[in-house]
Amino acid sequence: MIGRLQCVVLDCPEPLSLAGFYRELVGGEVNRADPRWSLHDDWATLHLDDGRVLAFQRVESHRPPRWPDPEAPQQFHLDVGVADLARACDAAVALGATVLDEGGPSRGWTVCADPAGHPFCLVRE
């Protein structure tokens, strides 16, 4: 092993706002003090209860991916496990998510995008 994953970093236009979106989606604490990095207007963090960290970095020229367009690929995505897919989808949309692909009642996931355009999947547990 060369190193240990510290966090997953998402480029976005508004770091604090996107950190708040993900706090509502998966829980956690926004901008907890951490000696690994400094917090400022261009950087925000979300510390999850299990120790994982998502970070959000301001990119002024951020262009969101366009799922499933290979000309503007998704670059990465997060899977979020949920008990009730329809309820979770409604809640995510209420937070500012956009549904990209519902997939129908027999499929076990829905593809959404966060407010900055990053795709994520709500996956039935």
Task: Starting at the earlier edge strand, list the strands of the sheet with 78-82.
Answer: 78-82, 119-124, 109-113, 98-101
Q: Does any domain span residue 64?
A: no
Would you give the distance in Å from CA 53 to the centre of its chain?
11
Q: Does any domain span residue 97?
A: yes
- 């990053």: which residue's tokens? 118
Is the domain of 16 the same as that of 52? yes
User: Is residue 78 packed enough to be buried (19+ CB in 10 Å), middle (13-18) or exposed (0-12)?
Assistant: middle
Is the domain of 15 the same as that of 45? yes
The string of pLDDT tens digits covering residues 58-86 is 999 988 888 888 888 777 788 898 989 99
Q: Does any domain span residue 53?
A: yes
If one counts the domains in the chain, the total is 2
Check residue 2 and give its pLDDT. 65
Backbone dihedral region for residue 74 (phi beyond 0: left; psi -120 to 50: alpha; all else: beta)? alpha
Indicate which CATH number applies to the domain containing 109. 3.10.180.10
Q: Does any domain span residue 107?
A: yes
What global pTM score does this model have? Answer: 0.82
In order along its 125 residues, the chain shows pLDDT tens digits of: 766 878 899 999 999 999 999 999 999 999 999 988 888 999 999 999 999 999 999 999 988 888 888 888 777 788 898 989 999 999 999 999 999 998 766 788 899 999 999 989 898 88
Q: Does any domain span residue 32?
A: yes
| Full domain range(s) for residue 40 | 8-58
Q: Between the CA of residue 51 and those of 3, 79, 92, what are the distances in Å?
A: 16, 17, 23
Q: Does any domain span residue 71?
A: no
Q: Between the CA of residue 17 and those of 45, 78, 87, what are the distances in Å?
A: 11, 18, 23
Indicate which CATH number applies to the domain containing 15. 3.30.720
115 contacts 17 by C-beta, under 8 angstroms? yes
